[in-house]
Structure 1
Amino acid sequence: MSGHFEPLPGGGAAVALDEVEISIIRSLAVQLLELIGPGPGADSQKDPLAELFAEGPSEPPADPVLRRLFPDAYSDPEQAPDSPAEAEEWQAHSAEFRRYTENDLRAGKRENALAVIRALDALAPVDEGGAVLKLAAGESRQWLGALNDLRLAIGTRLEITDEDDTDLLYRLPDEDPRKPMVMAYLWLGGLQETLVNTLMA
C-alpha cells in the first residue's frame, strides 16, 4: 500500500486509494468510533441539554487503548510522586481534569473518525483503479487527528512503547498473527507522515 498524501492548492491534501485501502481505513475508523462510544446523554432524547451539561468520568478507562487515547493529565511516567500525599494530590487533580475535559475530547475524536468515514463514503462507487481522495484544509486536520488515534490504538494493542518496538515490527515473520495489524500500523504511519508534510508545505 504505497498511497501517500500530496498537497493541494489552498492547503488541502489528496491521496490515491484503492478499494482495499479504502475498506481498511473505513473499517478501522468504524472500530474506533465503537471503542470511543456514544456521547454522554445519548440515551436522554427527552432532554436535548443532557449532553451539554453532562460531566465526564473521573476514573481512567479500563481499556488500555482508551487510557492511551485519554491519558491522565497529571501523571508523569518518567517521575514518580515523592510521597503518598503527592500521589493522592495528582490523582485528585487528574480526576477533576478528566471530569471536565474527557467528554469534549471524546466528541472531537468521534467527529474526526466520522469525517474519515464520510469522506470515504463520498468516493463511492470506486472502480478497479481506485479513487483520489481530496480533502480541504479543515478535513485534512480531522484526518490527521483520526490517523493519529488509529495508530495509537493499534500501537497499544501491539504493545509498542518505544522506537525499538517499532524496529522489531519490521522483522516479524509472515506467519506471525500480528503481521496484518503491524502492516496496517506501518502503512497508517506513512499516510500520517505525508499528511503532516502537506499541512506544513
Structure 2
Amino acid sequence: MAGHFEPLPGGGAAIALDEVEISILRSLAVQLVELVGPGEEPVEGDDPLAALFSEGPSEPPSDPALARLFPDAYGGPEREPDEEARRASAEFRRFTENDLRARKRDDAIAVIRSLDALAAGDGAAALELTPDESRQWLGTLNDLRLAIGTRLEVTDEEDGGELYRLPDADPRKPMVLAYLWLGELQQTLVETLMP
C-alpha cells in the first residue's frame, strides 16, 4: 500500500503516507484552497431561493492556473472564440462558476481534514477513504495537477518527457517532482474506483 492507493473491500481506497508526504499533500491542498478563493457566494443565512439563483462572474479568471481550473464552456484553448462563443461562455460561467468553485474548495478542505486526522500520529499512517471521500481526493488531486501543470507550462504529453530530464539545480524541480507524484497518486486512485 505504500506510495499508492489500493481498493478497500466494499469500496473506497487506502494508502500509507509518511509524515513528509502528509505535510506536502496538506500544504498543496491549502494552497489550492487559497488559489480557488472564497468566490462570490451569498452570505450564510440569506434567502435560500435567492442563493440558488445568485450570479457569479462572467469573465474568465486572469490567473492562468485559475483559467485552467475554470475554463470557458464554449470554444477551446487552441482557437480564438467568436463573439457568440464568448457570450455563451460568459452566461454559462455566471451560473456555474460559484458552485464549481465551492465544490473544489470543499473537496480540498476534506483532503486537509483527513490529513490532519492522520498527522496526529507519528511516522507512517494508513489513510482509509470511503467512496465519497475517494471522489473528493480524486477531484483535488486532479485540480492540483492542473494548477501545477499550468505553472510548469505543461501543454501536452511531449512536455512530460522534458520534466523528467530537468537538472536537479533547476528551481522548477520540486514542483516537477510534486506534479509527477500527484499523477501517480491520481492514477492509482482512479484504478481503485474502477469496477
Q: Secondary structure at the match of 1:122?
A: helix
**Counterpart code for 1:156:** T
Q: Distance in 1 between matches of 2:187 and 2:44?
A: 41
CA-CA distance at 1:47 after TM superposition: 3.5
TM-score by length of 2: 0.93
CA distance in 2, matches of 1:118, 1:16: 16
Q: Is the 8 A contact 2:41 2:98 kept in 1?
A: no
Once the two structures are TM-superposed, the CA of residue 122 in structure 1 deviates from its matched residue by 1.3
With the length of structure 1 as denominator, give the TM-score of the two structures: 0.90
* Bigger mean CA deviation after superposition, 189-198 or 51-60: 51-60
Corresponding residue of 2:87: 92
C-alpha displacement of 1:46: 6.7
Q: Which amino acid aligns with 2:117?
A: A
1:164 aligns with 2:154: no
Alignment-mate amino acid for residue 187 of structure 2:
E
Separation of aligned partners in 2, 1:123 and 1:53: 39
Q: Does the 8 Å CA contact 1:15/1:132 hold for their aligned counterparts?
A: yes
Partner of 1:17: 17
Aligned to 1:182: 176
| Matched letter for residue 160 of structure 1 | V
Q: Percent identity?
A: 72
Q: Do the aligned partners of 1:39 and 1:51 also contact (CA within 8 Å) in 2?
A: no
Q: 1:65 to 1:127 in 2, by over 3 A?
A: same
Q: Structure 2: where are the runs of 5+ without partners?
A: none
Residue 132 of structure 2 is aligned to residue 135 of structure 1 = no
Q: Contact (CA 8 Å) 1:13, 1:140: kept in 2 or not? A: yes
Shift of the alpha carbon at 1:92? 0.5
| Structure 1 alignment gaps of length 5 or more | 82-86
Matches within 5 A, 1:70-81: 70-80=70-80
User: Matched residues in 1 for 2:60 and 2:39: separation?
Assistant: 17
Q: Which amino acid aligns with 2:75?
A: S
User: Does the CA-based 8 Å contact 2:141-2:186 persist in structure 1?
Assistant: yes
Q: Does structure 2 retain, via aligned residues, the 8 Å contact 1:4–1:190?
A: yes
Q: Give the structure 2 partner of residue 198 of structure 1.
A: 192
Tell me the alpha carbon deviations over residues 73-111 of structure 1, each in whole angstroms, 9 at most, x when there is no partner.
011234555xxxxx1111100100000010111011011
Paired position in structure 1 for 2:37: 37
Give yes or no for the alignment of 1:26 onto 2:23.
no
Tell me how far apart the structure 1 counterparts of residues 36 and 47 of structure 2 sit (CA, whole Å): 21
Aligned to 2:116: 121
**1:149 maps to which residue?**
143
CA RMSD of aligned residues (A): 1.7
Match of 1:84 in 2: none
Q: Which amino acid aligns with 1:109?
A: K
Q: CA deviation at 1:52?
A: 4.2
* Cα contact 2:56–2:97 (8 A) shared by 1: yes
**What is residue 112 of structure 1 aligned with on the other side?**
107
Q: Does the 8 A contact of 1:40 with 1:51 survive in 2?
A: no
